[in-house]
Structure 1
């Protein structure tokens, strides 16, 4: 791998508003090999880890992306004049069930929660956090749900194996005191280097 390959990889990552995989990057750099790209990515991750910068290169959702450090989140939100997306307790519980039990049927979610979740599932799909992954070979061919790549991006997860323990998820549950029904769960702990476009933000 020559030095220019590493610089090109860095330039592509800076220009992207989403995580890029090594395979994607390799397709855009003629005469490069997948091994070259992986080496460049590894070196870049190490380079930025040792620099005192406001951002670093992270492996997220099957790709790599520059993300700002958590301590700068309040300033970024102030600039963007936005607030973290909030989910109701019911939506948070439903999302957690889908994340940890996927692929899963709506009926299975409702059995675990004890209530109808049709509206909640639609809302989570509109936010791009879950998706229909198929149909079960049962009478009526019920839909099967799973999380999306955007879910991984929002939570800063490399893949589903990086999901926090269930105990940690429970600690994110809304405060029941004073009738509070919402909780900030999408804190920009690692914001994108660039201001995300509207289509990339949960509504």
Structure 2
């Protein structure tokens, strides 16, 4: 039997290994972590660039096979996600999961933090026109925001910033991918863009002052 080279082994199994790792992970998986896991199991060194090429090949095969998912790049890693054409179905399955929905007040608070981070609670309150204690606590508990340090003002107020979970939930690779307000109409008009994600991003980009008397 002819001995197989490491290159043959990679070509035969690499794409399947990448697919299995991304599928098994419940958080966005970095390309370098995929490469590390493959090398640990097989003893064959691969690079993050090779992982990227594998993802591209897999997505081509998914498209050609009419599959309902692709491997997307967001929140600094790789994750399997349904295509826009069928995204309404899993959304309907989880529509009763309250942890997946954000109220208007939470979206307003999150939008201020996302676009002005790092930001103090006083600055959030100023933009919203209402106290944000409850909203900030809820966003901290849901891991959408985190305490990123202290400001230089009187009392060294806490500074808030968004987390990797925020990027993951909104399908972003980095906060720099947040759309400018003028881009929202273009996103909403694009039939290839997920409507629900566009709506959420529109809410983030256009926070309106909260006129309610409550802190919620």
TM bracket, shorter-chain basis: 0.7 to 0.9
**Could you tell me which of 93, 96, 113 is aligned with 2:111?**
96
Cα pair distance change 1:134/1:171, threshold 3 Å: closer
Q: Deviations over 1:61-86 (max 9, x none)?
A: 01111111244344335555734633
TM-score by length of 2: 0.70
1:68 aligned to which of 79, 82, 86: 82
- Equivalent residue, structure 1, for 2:34: 25
User: How far 1:32 moved relative to its partner?
Assistant: 1.8
Q: Find the residue that maps to 2:26 and give its secondary structure.
A: coil
SS at match of 2:102: strand
Which residue is equivalent to 1:15? 24
- Structure scoring higher RCO (CA < 8 A, sep ≥ 6) equals 1
Instruction: Confirm or deny that 1:52 pairs with 2:66.
Output: yes
CA RMSD of aligned residues (A): 2.6
What are the Cα deviations for residues 109-140 of structure 1, in whole angstroms up to 9, with x where unaligned? 11212221111100111121111111123332
For residues 54 and 150 of structure 1, the distance between their equivalents in structure 2, rounded to whole angstroms, comes to: 24
Kindly indicate whether the alpha-carbon contact (under 8 Å) linking 1:94 and 1:109 is maintained by their aligned counterparts in 2: yes
Q: Structure 2 CA distance, aligned partners of 1:41 and 1:172?
A: 31
Which residue pairs with 2:176 in the alignment?
A: 161
User: Does the 8 Å contact 1:60/1:156 carry over to 2?
Assistant: yes
The Cα shift of 1:41 comes to: 2.4
Aligned residues: 175
Where do 5+ consecutive residues of structure 1 fail to align? 180-203
Distance 1:29 1:86, change over 3 A: closer
Whether 1:137 and 2:152 are equivalent positions in the alignment is yes
More helix by share: 2
Match of 1:120, SS state, is helix
Matches within 5 A, 1:38-49: 38-49=52-63
Name the structure 2 match of 1:188.
Answer: none
The structure having more radius of gyration, on CA atoms, is 2
Q: Structure 2: state its 5+ residue gaps.
A: 1-6, 40-44, 185-201
